[in-house]
Chains A and B, each alone.
Chain A
């Protein structure tokens, strides 16, 4: 028997005060509606990046997917497009994320398991076979190997006859949050940032419609941070890219408009909405005030949202459909530009086709049945929402102060500061669950003894065997001299300081693989090792 549930369940680490049941006009004293709230589409963008918001364009429904071989994922992409998805989003497997070819010893057991394996231009061509790259927008979740995967994408588009200038999409390319939270890295922070500034410069010239960095709080939150930590670390990462871009001599207004953001939407409904609104205001104010951006596009924070994977439970998984719908609603009320809704079975495995369809349908129901798209920022002026938005901004500034005291985000990461703060918050979350200060339905309350099994997606071991054989064949069937020369050119640019994008692009055209390029760069840049810290 469970003991009686506590009377009040409080979301762990929330900034919502425990002792304040009602908000009133008094809570808005000091708020200047013209200065602090403004209008949608205008500085400081608290109310949304665009004046007409979803009347102009409903958010992009973009389901993150990838598993098995490129051919397997290509079929899933087509399935999603047939069912009304409006943008693509690629999940790569662990070896691709970490820069190993599928046939490397360290890739054993991981190929195609947690995403799709793409280590050659041929894999990328298969992934987008029959999908016109001039017409879709594609998001790629790839970071320490982003320059190489972008080169695969550009080269695939070339073969389809689509010039780089027409490509629309986003590459995550946010290495700082890798050190902080997602933990897929190769090189130390400074060489990694150099590769990113090379990409900022290259894309500003050749891929004007491409989002070059998707500054991500999603993984920070999944690693266990609170909402305010997610907000503060993410924005600070964004400002760090701006500073490195400016230092590399690129004018701020040439690259800042192509930075986009990616947030988590968790269960603490109102705090999440306030977080999204505060994010826009803080970004706009600093970009204008501190970095002297003149172009309103540089002030305008646009973001993708994913509902919180870590809020899903393995227990009574059908309840996750409800959780995801509530989180998606918060994202829409917060003004997201695109949205991924998680599938109910994701605490158990990668999602099945059926589970993904329900998740996509959840977005379609929100977009078409609820009237949500009629009015921009409908919660503006709410005593509680405006007060929480301001509180998030104030608390965020305090965390910025802690980071600046440590010399900025890069030294703070080297000192393990955000990593340790997140580990502390994650442990506190677990203790709040175990001590029943926070009720998680099906986990620590309303538990069922017998769980009904749900069907899950299984990856056939054939995937790894076939993929390994294909990579070996690919390497054997190319011109070895051209491959060697193109790798030498990458080494030269890496040591000489020239932009790395052109030689990487030339190498992938010469059928050089992901792992081979990474090996050359690793020898020049070295490897990052994190001190194994926990709280």
Chain B
């Protein structure tokens, strides 16, 4: 799993809590740290052969950053890698991003067990297993 913070956003509480919860659930987690470029995030996912890229955005830049990451992943032929995430993202925006191919986006108040359940179902589905 790559847990990533793109853009200039400094709100890392959610990303760190999710990273810790995924680790405790047995996932191998790489947390990128803050202020990453979309290129650096996709390269990290490629190098680490990640099953999923979990992106946290609370700065309102989600309609720019998610499509950028998706585009870079397509260019690198990472078609079976899941891009999902969370943050302060209005439902209409989440629907629009889902149409483009972004996975589920989790908002405030999410139980981390719901994220883990989703990853355990969605990752094998994407890989066709």
State whether A183 and B10 are in contact (beta carbons under 8 Å apart), knowing that A434-B112, A530-B33 are contacts in the complex.
yes
Residues of A within 8 A of B61 (CB): 94, 108-110, 113
Please state if B112 and A426 are interface contacts (CB–CB under 8 Å). no
State whether A347 and B112 are in contact (beta carbons under 8 Å apart), knowing that A110-B7, A183-B10, A535-B20 are contacts in the complex.
no
For window 72-103 of chain B, which residues contact chain A by CB distance below 8 Å?
Answer: 88, 90-91
The proximity string for A residues 176-192 relative to B, scoring 1 for CB distances below 8 Å and 0 otherwise, is: 00100011100000000
State whether A532 and B64 are in contact (beta carbons under 8 Å apart), knowing that A94-B9, A347-B88 are contacts in the complex.
no
For window 57-75 of chain B, which residues contact chain A by CB distance below 8 Å?
Answer: 58-61, 63-65
Residues of A within 8 A of B10 (CB): 97, 178, 182-184
Which 5 residue pairs are nearest across A and B when measured between Cβ atoms?
A: A109-B64, A532-B33, A183-B10, A113-B60, A109-B61
A349 CA to B19 CA in the complex, in Å? 24
Main secondary structure of the interface of B (DSSP, over half): loop
Please state if A183 and B34 are interface contacts (CB–CB under 8 Å). yes
21 CB contacts below 8 A, A to B, read A107-B8, A109-B61, A109-B64, A110-B64, A114-B9, A114-B59, A184-B8, A313-B108, A314-B108, A347-B88, A347-B109, A349-B60, A426-B17, A427-B16, A427-B20, A433-B111, A434-B113, A443-B109, A529-B33, A530-B34, A534-B31
Main secondary structure of the interface of A (DSSP, over half): loop
* Residues in B lying within 8 Å of A, measured CB to CB: 7-13, 15-17, 19-21, 31-35, 37, 58-61, 63-65, 88, 90-91, 107-109, 111-113
Please state if B31 and A100 are interface contacts (CB–CB under 8 Å). no
Please state if B111 and A94 are interface contacts (CB–CB under 8 Å). no
Max chain B C-beta neighbours (<10 A), residue from A110, A434, A531, A535: A110
Residues of B within 8 A of A295 (CB): none
Quick one: which of A114, A223, A347, A430 contacts B21, CB cutoff 8 A?
A430
Q: CB of A423 within 8 A of chain B?
A: yes
Please state if B13 and A434 are interface contacts (CB–CB under 8 Å). no
State whether A224 and B13 are in contact (beta carbons under 8 Å apart), knowing that A108-B64, A456-B90 are contacts in the complex.
yes
Max chain B C-beta neighbours (<10 A), residue from A100, A183, A456: A183
State whether A532 and B32 are in contact (beta carbons under 8 Å apart), knowing that A97-B8, A223-B12 are contacts in the complex.
yes
A106 CA to B39 CA in the complex, in Å? 12
Residues of A within 8 A of B63 (CB): 109
Quick one: which of B16, B21, B59 contacts A94, CB cutoff 8 A?
B59
Residues of B within 8 A of A183 (CB): 10-12, 34-35
A224 CA to B59 CA in the complex, in Å? 18
Residues of B within 8 A of A182 (CB): 10
Residues of A within 8 A of B20 (CB): 423, 427, 534-535
How many pairs, one residue from A and one from B, have CB atoms within 8 Å of each other in the complex?
A: 107
Given contacts A178-B10, A444-B111, A534-B16, 17 further A-B contacts (CB under 8 A): A94-B7, A97-B8, A100-B8, A109-B7, A110-B8, A113-B59, A184-B10, A347-B108, A349-B88, A423-B20, A426-B17, A427-B16, A433-B111, A442-B109, A530-B33, A531-B33, A534-B15
Residues of B within 8 A of A434 (CB): 111-113
A424 CA to B65 CA in the complex, in Å? 29
A182 CA to B11 CA in the complex, in Å? 7
For window 58-111 of chain A, which residues contact chain B by CB distance below 8 Å?
Answer: 94-95, 97-98, 100, 106-110
Residues of B within 8 A of A223 (CB): 12-13
A534 CA to B18 CA in the complex, in Å? 10
Please state if A106 and B88 are interface contacts (CB–CB under 8 Å). no
Q: A97 to nearest B CB, angstroms?
A: 7
Please state if A532 and B108 are interface contacts (CB–CB under 8 Å). no
Q: CB of A506 within 8 A of chain B?
A: no
Q: CB of A372 within 8 A of chain B?
A: no
Closest residue on chain B to residue A443 by CB atoms: B109
Please state if B90 and A348 are interface contacts (CB–CB under 8 Å). yes
The proximity string for A residues 128-143 relative to B, scoring 1 for CB distances below 8 Å and 0 otherwise, is: 0000000000000000
For window 401-435 of chain A, which residues contact chain B by CB distance below 8 Å?
Answer: 423, 426-427, 430, 433-434
Max chain B C-beta neighbours (<10 A), residue from A98, A433, A534: A534
Closest residue on chain A to residue B67 by CB atoms: A109
